[in-house]
Structure 1
């Protein structure tokens, strides 16, 4: 399985990026416009947040789905019976964010969302006409005025050795949204399942971005761009004592967007959140 590592500044970047998404559901970008110093600073500051008991003051709102999600309410991947070994915080521009963290994380949110919109434009431009005719509206228009795009600050705690059998940091799953933008985490562990049904590490050096197709783009493109199964495996040896932080931005369309004859973005999202046990 060959996930292409594409130079964002290259004249043919859009072509190779879309080709990688078509073939694998994933692509890696280098020389992109998101500052690595900003990402590293976010990891440091949110590591401190997750280490502080005051994080529970920011416990999530079940209706709004913003705020802090502790490990005991973490997601259970579809088809998996054990909760993932993680905690996380949902960042929305309209949501609750600690004042000391707001400026930096919202700066990143705006930058990452802008990049995601650009990449969605690349995908739209590289979609064959026979596939693009199935789009109910241009991909770029689907995210206009959307308040659903989610930035998730993920913390995978060190392993204590007494974890429930079969519990992993993130069990095999697909993303729900249109497109996911993911900076290189501070620790390895991300794997993708190839067409050979084998698991492959996603190579992503510090300062690079992993981009993957979500179920909503797969639905809108009638499967032309595949939403590929991926997971985060548990570390081994000395690495078990390390935290892992990750910062995925999930680009979402407006709730009223028609993805296909059978789904709007809203109906699709609610169906999947119920399957995950968080709604």
Structure 2
């Protein structure tokens, strides 16, 4: 986070040299400026302003790697975090396979190319600038949404703001706890399990406390995705058929790449 902060505190002109571009068929790592990304809210409305910027990393090693470092000496911090996140993801995928009565490597085999191409797994450094007193009414740091992939690991700093929606549609705060990370369920795991595991709706609000409004907030997210060609469909077809008879939510077969592309196109302003 210290290395990210050095990057984000540069002038916009400098950061713009590292901007992420939405080029069809390519995984583009890079800087995402404020107001380039938005999420439609559950009631169909849209956040007025999202006060944040980000740096997306789709490749962690090799010539395609782009990291938010002012110089190459700081690359190790991001590479170490990326590799440790991949290791943790692999362990949790094995646990998930066993929990769903699959062979231990079932999900691991569907996520072989994390942060190495043909897979939309990404490491995202998020920066929420200090809030100005004249902030636009209705502004929010990050609107309500679910993540697109299988799981998300969230590494938080010490400042509050993150909230998750409960099954009763209420919002509860998720205060940062030292030494712990948050794990969210994404769209694709919900689709695989036919809502046995539901995707986590979450948002980042602006704290009321004035001292916290004047501090920048940071987090780093690891978005775990299957390989692009993997088909996402309910693991037990009979469950889908039963839900269809009852008029409940069902899921059609879609590739991981198709689902990610659809969600990205809905979220980014280019």
Q: Specify the TM-score bucket, using the shorter chain as the normaliser.
A: 0.7 to 0.9
Q: Choose which of 52, 56, 77 in structure 1 pairs with 2:16.
A: 56
Q: Choose which of 27, 48, 55 in structure 2 pairs with 1:89.
A: 55
Q: Choose which of 65, 68, 72 in structure 1 pairs with 2:31.
A: 68
Q: Choose which of 181, 189, 192 in structure 2 pairs with 1:217.
A: 189
SS at match of 1:274: helix
Q: What is the distance in 2 between the residues matched to 1:142 and 1:177?
A: 12
Q: What is the distance in 2 between the residues matched to 1:105 and 1:186?
A: 20
The equivalent residue for 1:143 is: 111
Note if 1:248 corresponds to 2:208.
Answer: no
The equivalent residue for 1:257 is: 230
Q: Tell me if the contact between 1:192 and 1:199 (Cα under 8 Å) persists in the aligned partners.
A: yes
Note if 1:108 corresponds to 2:71.
Answer: no
Report the TM-score when normalising by structure 1.
0.77
Q: 1:83 offset after TM fit, Å?
A: 4.0
Tell me: higher relative CO, structure 1 or 2? Use CA pairs within 8 A at least 6 residues apart.
1
Q: Higher helix share goes to which structure? A: 1
Report the TM-score when normalising by structure 2.
0.79
Q: Where does structure 2 lack aligned partners over 5 or more consecutive residues?
A: 234-251
Give runs of ≥4 in structure 1 deviating > 4 Å: none
Q: Where does structure 1 lack aligned partners over 5 or more consecutive residues?
A: 1-42
SS at match of 2:83: helix
- Cα RMSD between the aligned structures? 1.9
Note if 1:177 corresponds to 2:149.
Answer: yes
Q: Tell me if the contact between 2:50 and 2:143 (Cα under 8 Å) persists in the aligned partners.
A: yes
Residues 224-256 of structure 1: per-residue CA shift (max 9 Å, x gap): 111021111102221110000100100111110
Aligned pair count reads 230
Bigger Rg over Cα: 2
SS at match of 1:248: strand
Q: Choose which of 180, 196, 205 in structure 1 pairs with 2:168.
A: 196
Q: What is the distance in 2 between the residues matched to 1:215 and 1:278?
A: 21
